[in-house]
Chain A
């Protein structure tokens, strides 16, 4: 017979996303969610206290006038099981954090509860990218690349136009593409590498510096501008430095006034919980919402684990063969399409190659 508290605890297993406000340390978010979950668990009614047998000396009934003493047993609840003596039923709920966000940034923060913590590890090792919205301001440079830091220099920005900005962004994107190809450890002169690149399946293996897979400007209103970035292996400080470098390339200076993460892998900002909803009931609903995604991540993580363990066994060879078959099938589909599209798909790779020659 499980108590209500234990049944509630068993529902707390999985991943969910939280919207971290700006100015708050990620540990504070994690601690708040843990204390809210514990509060809900400990507010459930405690199990009934154990009964102990106590013998009491009672005088024998009213009938007998003699002083007959009789020992009568009775079941009395023990005070040792009182909640004020035993304490709360639950002391700890394991809440883990996925990709961290520093105090200056805001946005989607993935948290895992209970068994979801294992899946968090798979998420961190998997090939997911993160989406950021960076807000920048031309005209000054500070020591920590943010608009609240100590100002080091001030510059004019009248000469900055949208197409100059776009040219700079394209240059940065090109350099990042080159880095992506290099770190993905793929031999460019093979057909498989071409297929992967065309479909955007290139991913850096092992340790790599931050790489931007996508970069564009969504809002330009000098001195303010907003960039949208998809990246891998990044830190928020690197993104603020990116804004500063954009300013330098445009022969002015820029500071970052906001870093906002809008997507962390499959976890988007629409389903992230705001501060009012960091309660146990909302968290359990969010866990249920993300359960499919969690299962997918767990499966892909287990697959990768087994593939890594059985390095030279026949199973891995079969799997790689099936992968290449899949790729071949898709190549067949591709080759059936018109030659124009094939040419188009070739251009990104050749463009970057062209730049490297320069």
Chain B
């Protein structure tokens, strides 16, 4: 222990009892304190700006028995320690980097990783964020989601255990398969921010309309935004399909289960499509019902494309309304495919679409079969002939 000259001189100047020897260190510091006090009494007025001396002054005011030199020996170390502690507050850093520490302490030091405050991609945050890594393991396409505005920041801010896990458990309870969860979240990440009460209310509404558990799960997988819509909106849509189309409840349920997108989009294009079928094409009510129950996609198809296909099928191929209503898959097919195949059959002389005549070709076979099967079975020609004919159109 280093002892300075002045302290030594002080110590030697005063009579030391045996009891003092164990607390020489404390005394030494105390003597320093007294020394400093002596010096500060004179210099206090000159040095108020310095923080250290101010603390001294406070300390002196607090405990006047510091000045009592006679009681030094009998004093305990504790009050001295407290004074020492307060003084050391402003001294140099407690733990100097050169200070030696044990191996265990060294191993347990954790350096915090500095994440960039802003980034245009989620790549720097994926490894460090529990939410994002769990989402990637589920199969969520983070790259697609970060293209959408604000979705990336929303995902980074989510807490896995508080926000994400309850929603995922809810979806699992609903019956959505784990393999489909990734796709669902990629299409609709906002299902994680929707409150569980709302989600449960909507599911209970659907179940009250007699949708089975499996059908609800299938609907949610096919139309990820379904549960983000309010109960009133779902009710409005279901009511429309039942009233406007004049369908029974069971048939309406069937259509909606097969194409849940009907409940998500706006009703105006559907109303327009129905008007087109009724007025422009001239289908009767029961024919429209049959078409819609067989191919619900006709309700949300593009009006112009639908008109083009029907115009070709009815006017150029001379297929009557009844046959088109019987095979509504034709309205769902690609126009170019129908055109090329019909012209090929016409060139070969096999374009026979009347069921009463021999060599009848049904419309669904015309449209549904792949090219090679169509050529071999329906047209009775080779695929090369068909391709050569395509280059003549």
Contact present for B390 and A84 (CB under 8 Å): no
Q: Indicate if the CB atoms of A82 and B136 lie closer than 8 Å.
A: yes
Contacts of A87 in B (CB 8 A): 143-144
Nearest-neighbor residue (CB-CB) of A22 within chain B: B393
The complex places the Cα of A274 from the Cα of B392 at a distance, in Å, of: 11
A70 located at the interface, meaning its Cβ lies under 8 Å from any Cβ of chain B in the complex: yes
In this complex, the member of A23, A78, A274 whose beta carbon has the largest number of chain B beta carbons within 10 angstroms is A274
The total of Cβ contacts below 8 Å across the A-B interface reads: 60
Is A272's CB under 8 angstroms from B391's CB? Answer: yes
- Contact A84-B133, Cβ < 8 Å, known A69-B104, A71-B107, A269-B391: no
For B346, what are the chain A residues with a Cβ–Cβ distance below 8 Å? none
Please judge, given known A-B contacts A85-B142, A275-B336, whether A80 and B123 are in contact too, CB under 8 Å.
yes
B126-153 near A? 1/0 per residue, CB < 8 Å: 1100001100100111111000000000
Task: Determine if A106 is an interface residue (Cβ-Cβ < 8 Å).
Answer: yes
| B142 in contact with A24 (CB, 8 Å) | no
- Please report the total number of A residues contacting B with Cβ < 8 Å: 27
Which A residues from 75 to 99 make CB contacts under 8 A with B? Answer: 78-80, 82, 84-88
CB distance from B377 to the nearest CB of A (A): 18
A80 and B141 form a contact (CB under 8 A):
no
The CA of A88 and the CA of B143, in the complex, are separated in Å by 9
One of A70, A86, A276 near B123 (C-beta < 8 A): A86
**Interface residue ranges of B333-389 to A (CB < 8 Å):** 335-336, 340, 371, 387
Chain B contacts for A69, CB-based, 8 A: 104, 107-108
- Is A84 a contact of B336 with CB atoms below 8 Å? no
Residue in B104, B124, B133, B143 whose Cβ sees the most chain A Cβ within 10 Å: B143
Q: Which residues of chain A come closer than 8 Å to B231, judged between CB atoms? A: none
A19 vs chain B, min Cβ distance (A): 5
Is A57 positioned at the interface, with any CB of B under 8 Å from its CB? yes
For A88, the chain B residues whose CB sits under 8 A away are 143
Whether A214 sits at the interface, judged by CB under 8 Å, is no
Instruction: Tell me the minimal C-beta distance from A71 to chain B in angstroms.
Output: 5
Determine whether the beta carbon of B390 is less than 8 Å from that of A275.
yes
Interface centre among A57, A78, A85, A276 (most CB of B within 10 A): A85
**A274 and B387 alpha carbons, distance in the complex (Å):** 7
A70: shortest Cβ distance to chain B, in Å?
7
Contact assessment for A85 and B136 in the assembled complex, using a CB-CB cutoff below 8 Å: yes
Shortest CB-to-CB span from A75 to chain B, Å, is 14
Given the complex, which residues of B lie within 8 Å of A23, measured CB to CB?
Answer: 335-336
Which A residues fall within an 8 A CB radius of B? Answer: 19, 21-24, 52, 57, 68-71, 78-80, 82, 84-88, 106, 260, 269, 272, 274-276
23 contacts between A and B (CB under 8 A): A19-B390, A21-B340, A21-B390, A21-B393, A22-B393, A23-B335, A69-B104, A69-B107, A79-B132, A80-B124, A84-B136, A84-B141, A84-B143, A85-B121, A85-B136, A86-B123, A87-B143, A106-B393, A269-B391, A272-B391, A274-B387, A275-B390, A276-B371
Q: A85-B136, A87-B143 are in contact. List 5 more A-B contacts (CB 8 A).
A: A21-B340, A23-B336, A80-B126, A260-B392, A275-B390
